[in-house]
Each structure stands twice: as structure tokens, then as C-alpha cells.
Structure 1
């Protein structure tokens, strides 16, 4: 087992800034429309992703997406969990840059608070196969990750939650809409639609919104998916997020049948745990409330 580098505990940075640059070039006509535009949302990093140290019993997960693409994840057991007694689990759908190594920082507190934690890399990220080209593929990969969670004997299938962050929020909401096995979800710094975030990245002007309409397909809109999710959601968003403006989080919460919006005053896109350490207990408390054995299934 490799030791985790010091930098691995820090949140991954920079992916959305590359989106801005790429969209700007696209708007100038340097790229062709279509699939190339889709790939501007994804900035994967290929590197070995051994299970992290500091999590007793951490192990690698190998599974496949619906089209046979091999995927890699981690299973981080709840601290002190009895392996013979199924426990609640949280699936983490990560953001658009790097790989799961750089995103563990967001959810690393969950195992010590009694939850199994499962992270995974979409195709094209880390050691997973294939390449990240279409949102439909990443949605399929997340369905496959959920299937792997539900198939694990250590997991109580009736108490599974989703933590969906940034791009992962867009992907995860589309999965949660169709999978009632996910009892509750925490959505962090997510956007309402692919075109809206592209327009914001280009400056938000009338011309930017026109360019986004031409360049960006807007299928699988998170704001449409969330309207059909009747299970509890916690929407968390930093008020000073300069990548995905907080207005996106507010609109998502307003569209959901059962959502609570929690603004992090002064929080940014990736650094909110540093400025708001209480967010760890906020997230754990939400899952504790809705994934407890006594919580009614919906």
C-alpha cells in the first residue's frame, strides 16, 4: 500500500478554470461544436490510486459500467464497524478535475462518524478505463458504482446516501432521480444546467448565453432531475463560490420537492471545509437523520 502524499488531503483545484479557457476558445471558433464541447467539462488525471492510509480496512473496488468499461473505487469502512452487521453507506460522486484521490478531502470525516464511504473514478479518471467524453457515460458509471455499493454485504441496502459535489452534483442528481435506493442526498456546489454554467463561465452576458446555447448540449439538466426527487436533499453552497455561483444552489433547492438549502457564508467552491469546519457534522448529521434505522423509507 502506498502512503498518501500530503497534497492528497487537499481539495483538487483548477478544473473549472480550464473550462473557462476552453469555452472562451470555443466561442472564438477555434474548436468545432459537438463532442469536443462536451469534453471541455472534464479534466481527469491519470495516476495510480491506491487505497488511502489512515482508514483501517480501506480496500480497492473493481467493477464495470454497463458497457463493460472497467472502473476503480475505494471502500472505506465505518470506523469500528462490525463486518457482520450491515451499516449505512454514502456514495461520493466527485467533481470534474483530477481523480478521487484529490476529492476524498470533502468526505473523509464520514467513516469516523459511522458511515461506510465509497468513492470511485468515472471512466478516464485515475485507474478507471475508457475516456470521459459524454455525461451519459458518467451517469452510467455512477449507476454502476451504486450497484457495487448495494451488492456489498457490509452495506445496509436500505440506508444508502449520496454525496454529490460540483460536476458530481449534476451527475448524481440524474442518478438519484432514477434510483429510489438512494434514501437521501447531499449536493455541494452544483450547477442547475450545463448551458447555464457555461454561460456563467463566459461572463454571463447576453452574448455569452447565446454562445452557450449554440455550443453546449443541455440534456440531463440537474434542475430538471431534482424536480422528480421526493427524498430528502441537503443543498450546500458557498456564498463566495466564484466557479459555480451560489444562485445555482438556491435554484436547485427551490426546484426540489424536499430540499433544505444551507449557504456557507464566505465559502468558496473547494475551500469551504477550511473556512467552515462545522460542515462535516452538518453533513453527517443529515445522513444520520435520514439513514437511521428508524427513518421511514420513501
Structure 2
């Protein structure tokens, strides 16, 4: 036992050093992506109708998504961008309640997640988010109805960049609202925080974070979403993305905007019916079905 413990420590240290060396060589954008290919649950197990969707990206990848139609006459459509771990089948509970509330939902897996091809990186997943939205707006059930973007965690950062470009380019149809839940204020900022949490990477937090592009920082982009309404949701008990990120995003957003302070764990907002009701209220207030 006395000889095994030092060997175990040496192996652990060697593995950590190797991982650090890889980060130094390639940058640290990989810290944002933890995909897997396990199917955790399918919509039919939740008594939801659905269609498998496969769409091609301009750079040659194939993305897998699920189209979940509203259970009765649709009030609108929600485009959902999920967080950085696992794949859409592990995030589906976050939006499984919406079809019952008369909202269509479209959810995609980014490249490298689930049954989508390729390997994820920041630029690639941004392209994937736009490819999904472009597929969605061509669907007959979406046209002439309110359209909302809901992004959680990583999905919120991707959604902020996508929505800001959509508004600046005056793309049609327009978004009626953007909802950001547990979203970090910037790729570079959250990378620096996470690297600073670990003693081995702490000395390298600044140089490593500078390997990440700063072209898509949410706190710099969120103001460009106006005049589309923005709802920022963040939990005071979020142990993954600290609360100050939500505060910074809300401060940087232009009117019309709303802040929802919650008290669940990261990514658990919609287990609380009251928080569901708050989001429905936001969409009802901003979905002008007659004005389309």
C-alpha cells in the first residue's frame, strides 16, 4: 500500500500535466464542450409527439434535431439551444412542458453531440445554431406565429450571438423574444474563472483564456438584440455559472428586458411551475400573433 499511493499520485499528476500541455497547445475552447452519444430519453417516453430532423450545415456536417409539435392550436414556436454536457436527450425535460402549453419546440444537437456529425468548437456550434434556425423558419407551422429563442448555459451564449446577428441583419421572420437561462457573460470570462478554480491551471488562467476568441462575448452582443425583448434568468444558487454573470448580462441588455432571479441548481429552472409561468407570461406579452 505504501508504494501504491505514490505511484497513484504520480499517475494522477502525470495525467493532469498531460491535459495541461494539451490545453497549452490547442487553446482551451474544449472546456465548453462535453458531448456524448448516449440516448437518455426520447420524446415518446414523455408522451410527446415528435419527428426526427436531419439537416446539413454549410460546412458539411449533419445535425440531428427533434421537432415537437404543440398539442393543440400553436400559440408560437420555441427554438431551444441546450447546455454543454451530454446531448439533447438529457436536456429535453427543460422544454417537455411547452407542447402542452401550445408551443411548438425545435431542439438540435450541435456537431459532435448525440447523432450529429463532427467535433464541436465555438465557431462550429455557432454555425449549427444558425443552421437550425434557418431550417425552422421554413416550416409551415412556424410562419405567421410568434418565434422565441430559449438558450440555457452554453446555449444562451450561442443564442445571444445568433439573435444579435439576426436583428442586425434584419432577418425575417423577426424573433419575438430571447430567453437566456443560466448563461455566462462571455466565453473568455468564464474560461478564466474556471481555470482559476484549479491550482495547477491557476497560473495559466490569463494566457489560456486569451486563446479563446472574444468575437462572441454575450455581454457585448446582448445590447444588439434590442428592440427584441430579452428575459435573463439566473439562480442565486447556480454552482456552475455564478450569479454575477446573469447580472452583467441584464445590465448590458437594452430595453425591453426582464430579469428573473431564481433559486434552483444550474439547469433546473423549469422544474418549478412558477418559473414556467413567468416564461409563459413573457412570451404571451411579447408574442404578437396578429401582427405577423
Indicate whether the TM-score tops 0.5. yes
Larger radius of gyration: 2
The question of whether the paired residues in 1 share the 8 Å contact of 2:81 and 2:155 is answered with: yes
Shift of 1:193: 1.0
Q: Which residue of 2 aligns with 1:185?
A: 178
TM-score, normalised to structure 1, is 0.81
RMSD in angstroms over aligned alpha carbons?
2.6
Q: Which residue of 1 aligns with 2:171?
A: none
Alignment partner for residue 134 of structure 2, among 139, 147, 155?
147
**Superposed CA offset, 1:43-95 (max 9, x none):** 101135885113443111111112121111011111123xxxx7511000000
1:92 aligns with 2:80: yes
**Distance of aligned partners of 1:29 and 1:57 in 2 relative to their CA distance in 1, 3 Å threshold:** closer
Q: Distance in 1 between matches of 2:144 and 2:17?
A: 44
Q: Say how many residue pairs are matched.
A: 266
Name structure 1 gaps, 5 residues minimum. 1-23
Shift of 1:271: 2.8
1:116 aligns with 2:71: no
**Superposed CA offset, 1:83-113 (max 9, x none):** xxx7511000000001001111111111111
Name structure 2 gaps, 5 residues minimum. 1-14, 168-173
Q: Distance in 2 between matches of 1:112 and 1:193?
A: 34
1:65 aligns with 2:57: yes
Q: Which residue of 1 aligns with 2:229?
A: 232
Shift of 1:199: 2.2
The question of whether the paired residues in 1 share the 8 Å contact of 2:185 and 2:217 is answered with: yes
The question of whether the paired residues in 2 share the 8 Å contact of 1:44 and 1:97 is answered with: yes
The question of whether the paired residues in 2 share the 8 Å contact of 1:191 and 1:244 is answered with: yes
Q: Which residue of 2 aligns with 1:8?
A: none
Q: Distance in 1 between matches of 2:235 and 2:142?
A: 31
Q: Distance in 2 between matches of 1:190 and 1:92?
A: 13
Shift of 1:290: 1.1
Q: Which residue of 1 aligns with 2:153?
A: 166
Q: Distance in 2 between matches of 1:152 and 1:194?
A: 32
The question of whether the paired residues in 2 share the 8 Å contact of 1:55 and 1:77 is answered with: no
Which runs of at least 4 in structure 1 moved beyond 6 Å after TM superposition? none
Alignment partner for residue 264 of structure 2, among 258, 262, 267?
267
TM-score, normalised to structure 2, is 0.83
